[in-house]
Amino acid sequence: MSLVMAYAKEREASLQFELVEWLSHPPWDEGMAVAVAWIILAAGARWRAEPAWIDRAGRALGGYFLICLVLSLVDSWW
């Protein structure tokens, strides 16, 4: 096996480990950032929805992060 193939195989295993580690921990920091940003937007009355799919997708992703934040906080209390 060549040196390049060995490096590629090692890098692939490393990326798989990083992906598993990322998926096993809820995105707590992202949820907190979304919560703070949405609170600031709501407090300043600047929260306006655009009629585009990208805005709806962003809100759905932000909602996912908030749900993960709440679930991780509930899990840490138990």
Q: pLDDT tens digits for 22-41? A: 566 666 778 888 899 989 98
Contact 39, 66 (CB under 8 A): no
d(CA 15, CA 10): 9
For residue 6, what pLDDT band results from cuts at 50, 70 and 90? low
Nearest to 68 by CA among 25, 39, 4, 38: 25
**pLDDT for the residue 26:** 63
Rounded to two decimals, the pTM is: 0.60
Q: Domain extents for the chain?
A: 3-77
